[in-house]
Structure 1
Amino acid sequence: MSGRKQFNVTDALDRAMRVFWECGYADTSLNALESATGLARSSLYSTFGGKDALFRQCLDRYAATYGARYEQALTTYPGEPVRAVEAYFDVVLARIADPAVPKGCLIAQSAAQSANLREEVSMRVRALLDTQRRRVRAALADSGTEPRILDELAGFVVAVQQSLAVLSCAGSSDAELRVVVRLACRTVADTLTRAEAGRPSA
């Protein structure tokens, strides 16, 4: 080889993702990204296309990593929508409690900073939240409840998920977060039960 420095693109992306996750988009400098990835600025631009493009790739990397876990949790209990939602929140709480990763959620943090993001990046954050809603909505669909209620419940579940990330950053304990989850799951169960009871008999 000619002596050019070799690097692992995926590893560099993971390191950059951690910086964005810890600092937020607005407070992440190119110097911090250079330091974390070990890449010169020219290499960052040639490999990832600049800060905005790198951030979009980090969002996608984050969504792929945790989205697969959410998908597995939500599809493990076909025909048991409440159990699926409980499993979904188990994954959320496990991520929050993991000492190996930064606090909170990169997507929730990015949504809160939408005013500082370019329009295409902000739209990407929105699209990732919509993907989460669709996953939850699909898990709830087995209940046979009318579509409007399922849409509302899916939005509620994702809203609680994002709130858990914010609360964890504010110092809420695992026990406090589990109370929120328990009440959220009860709300889902009660709403589905009421909808079932109100359905006309065949």
Structure 2
Amino acid sequence: MAGRKQFDVDEALRRAMHVFWRWGYSEASIDRLTEGTGLGRGSLYGTFGGKSALFRESLQRYAQTYQPLYERALSGPHPSPSAAVAAFLQVALNRIADPTVPDGCLLTVSATQFPALDAEGQTMVRAMIDSLRTGLEQALLATGVAEREAAELALCTLATNKSLAVLSRAGFSGEELATVAAAAARNAEGLPHRAAESSGPR
């Protein structure tokens, strides 16, 4: 039938996501994208509308794949803030250990190339990072951690999550990355709770 696409659009998008994931937006040239997806330039532009649009679709695909895993990990109930941190970081460790995807994290490599993205891409990257941070903070509050400590720990845990992705691309072993995650979880022990925060002379 005339006009009917002769390729799997979803599979092409998955492959494009891996190209951006492996190379980052700046180094994901059209030649690399056509080679990675198996599409000609005409099909690539005709289907996805150009590199920036394809990047945004790839980022959305990444979010749809991994955001539910983080949400499930944080849903709890967690017996302690340490357990919440460990569950969150385990998602990153599992992804890094997956041999079917590139090293690191598409969101992390995109954040490192933030100036190269268009305004819409920048907005998407920041929104995804902020969503992770908010989810972490809410999970920590649910364990009874005081608000200020929950906010600080969420930010530090998010930074650890991103550092795991960077270290994995530099060849650090799974054992070394697990050591980093375990240390971050231990740092969450003994935080002030809301009840303790509000107690005292009146």
TM-score between the two structures when normalised by the length of structure 2: 0.90
State the alpha-carbon separation in 2 of the partners of residues 94 and 196 from structure 1. Answer: 35
State the alpha-carbon separation in 2 of the partners of residues 162 and 70 from structure 1. Answer: 14
Q: Cα gap change, 1:41/1:182 in structure 2, threshold over 3 Å: closer, same or farther?
A: same
Q: Cα gap change, 1:157/1:39 in structure 2, threshold over 3 Å: closer, same or farther?
A: same
- Structure 2 residue 164 is matched with structure 1 residue 159: no
SS of residue matched to 1:25: helix
Equivalent in the alignment of 2:37: 37
Q: CA shift at 1:80, angstroms?
A: 4.0
Q: CA shift at 1:40, angstroms?
A: 2.2
| Structure 2 contact 81–145 (Cα < 8 Å) conserved | no
Q: Cα gap change, 1:50/1:137 in structure 2, threshold over 3 Å: closer, same or farther?
A: same
Range with greater deviation from structure 2 (81-90 or 103-112): 81-90
Equivalent in the alignment of 2:132: 132
Per-residue deviation, residues 25-74 of structure 1 (Å, max 9, x unmatched)? 11111122122222222222222121001101111111111111111111
**Gap runs ≥5 in structure 2:** none
| Structure 1 contact 105–165 (Cα < 8 Å) conserved | yes
Identical aligned residues as a percent: 47
State the alpha-carbon separation in 2 of the partners of residues 5 and 65 from structure 1. Answer: 25
State the alpha-carbon separation in 2 of the partners of residues 82 and 8 from structure 1. Answer: 43
State the alpha-carbon separation in 2 of the partners of residues 191 and 8 from structure 1. Answer: 50
Q: CA shift at 1:95, angstroms?
A: 0.7
Q: Cα gap change, 1:3/1:63 in structure 2, threshold over 3 Å: closer, same or farther?
A: closer
Matches within 5 A, 1:51-130: 51-78=51-78, 80-130=80-130
Equivalent in the alignment of 1:50: 50
Instruction: Report the residue type matching 1:181 in the other structure.
Output: A
- Structure 2 residue 27 is matched with structure 1 residue 23: no
Q: Which has the higher contact order (CA 8 A, sep 6+)?
A: 2
| Structure 1 contact 76–84 (Cα < 8 Å) conserved | yes
Per-residue deviation, residues 58-113 of structure 1 (Å, max 9, x unmatched)? 11111111111111111133554432221221121111111111000111111111
Q: Cα gap change, 1:134/1:100 in structure 2, threshold over 3 Å: closer, same or farther?
A: same
State the alpha-carbon separation in 2 of the partners of residues 16 and 10 from structure 1. Answer: 10
Range with greater deviation from structure 2 (51-60 or 167-176): 167-176
Q: How many positions carry a matched residue from both structures?
A: 201
Equivalent in the alignment of 1:13: 13
Indicate the RMSD between aligned Cα atoms, in angstroms: 2.1
| Structure 1 contact 77–83 (Cα < 8 Å) conserved | no
State the alpha-carbon separation in 2 of the partners of residues 101 and 82 from structure 1. Answer: 28
State the alpha-carbon separation in 2 of the partners of residues 65 and 5 from structure 1. Answer: 25
Q: Cα gap change, 1:151/1:120 in structure 2, threshold over 3 Å: closer, same or farther?
A: same
State the alpha-carbon separation in 2 of the partners of residues 2 and 103 from structure 1. Answer: 40
State the alpha-carbon separation in 2 of the partners of residues 186 and 81 from structure 1. Answer: 9
State the alpha-carbon separation in 2 of the partners of residues 47 and 190 from structure 1. Answer: 53
**Gap runs ≥5 in structure 1:** none
SS of residue matched to 1:176: helix
Range with greater deviation from structure 2 (70-79 or 87-96): 70-79
Range with greater deviation from structure 2 (38-47 or 74-83): 74-83
| Structure 2 contact 82–187 (Cα < 8 Å) conserved | no
TM-score between the two structures when normalised by the length of structure 1: 0.90
